[in-house]
Amino acid sequence: MSDLATGNDRANLIRQAFRLEYLTFGWMIIEAAVGIGAGLAAGSLVLTAFGIDSVIELASAGVLLWRLTVELRHGETFAESAERLASRIGGGLLFALAFYVVASAAWKLWTQTGGEFSMSGLLLSLGAIPIMYVLSRRKLDIAKALGSRALRADAIESLTCGWLAFVVLAALAAQWALGAWWVDPVASLAVVWLLIREGQEAWSGEECCDHHH
């Protein structure tokens, strides 16, 4: 279906989006606490960056909850200005995350330091991969049906969080097996292009949902 949802369907989709954002909130609190805590304890910048990514996603989820509340209370037309601002904020958060990933990777390469192996970080990243994948796919589907750039930006942050979790997992596994300190900063740069591309899309206000049928 290429047409955007209307009426009751739209209200149902918005409620589903609310539930997804509440789930995101809950998981991101766990991710932020464990990621930053374990990252600092192990001296792992990529794990700490993963935790800070979770804080950024918490802010993004808060923006989405605000935007969806506006739509539920005042209707779709009233929500358009809120959508524009929320989309800009989402884009800005994506740029901030991209900058942090690049900065943390550059610092690790410059100092040639690798953190200690973290079992809690390994378990966190293992759990985050399937959780973020499911959340991001559902958010993308609802964003397409609603025509919401802001929700798409939030979905891409969730998807990127899943990729970062994969990077953390691979980096910790390589660190444990090989003692290869440079793996995680190099690997983390792989997600930067996605962050910047989607950040630009959200910031410029391009139509998010008309690329494909």
Of residues 69 and 162, more confidently modeled: 162
Give CA separation, 186 vs 12, 14, 102, 109, 117, in Å. Answer: 42, 38, 10, 8, 17
Selection from 208, 136, 194, 145 nearest residue 7 by Cα: 145
Per-residue exposure over 101-137, b if at least 16 CB sit within 10 Å of its own CB, e if not:
bbebbeebeeeeebbeebeebbebbeebbebbbebbe
Q: How far is CA 34 from the centre of its chain?
A: 16
SS3 205: coil
pLDDT tens by residue, 20-67: 989 999 999 999 999 999 988 987 877 887 888 888 788 878 877 887
SS3 63: helix
Of residues 203 and 188, more confidently modeled: 203
| CB-CB contact of 96 with 207 (8 Å) | no
Q: Which stretch of DSSP H or E encloses residue 78?
A: none
Of residues 73 and 200, more confidently modeled: 200
pLDDT tens by residue, 103-135: 888 887 888 876 678 899 999 999 999 999 999
Residue 76: pLDDT over 80: no
Of residues 108 and 102, more confidently modeled: 102
Residue 196 falls in which region: left (phi positive, over 0), alpha (psi -120 to 50) or beta: alpha
Lowest mean pLDDT among 140-144, 160-164, 202-206: 202-206
Is this structure's pTM higher than 0.85?
no
Name 140's Cβ contacts closer than 8 Å, sequence gap at least 6. Answer: 152, 155, 159
Helix boundaries (H) for 43-191? 45-74, 79-111, 119-146, 149-178, 183-188
What residue ranges define each of the domains in the chain, with the CATH number in brackets? 7-204 (1.20.1510.10)
Categorize the per-residue pLDDT at 88 as very low, low, confident or very high, splitting at 50, 70 and 90: confident
* Cα 53 from Cα 97, distance rounded (Å): 6
SS3 179: coil
Name 97's Cβ contacts closer than 8 Å, sequence gap at least 6. Answer: 53, 56, 157, 160, 195
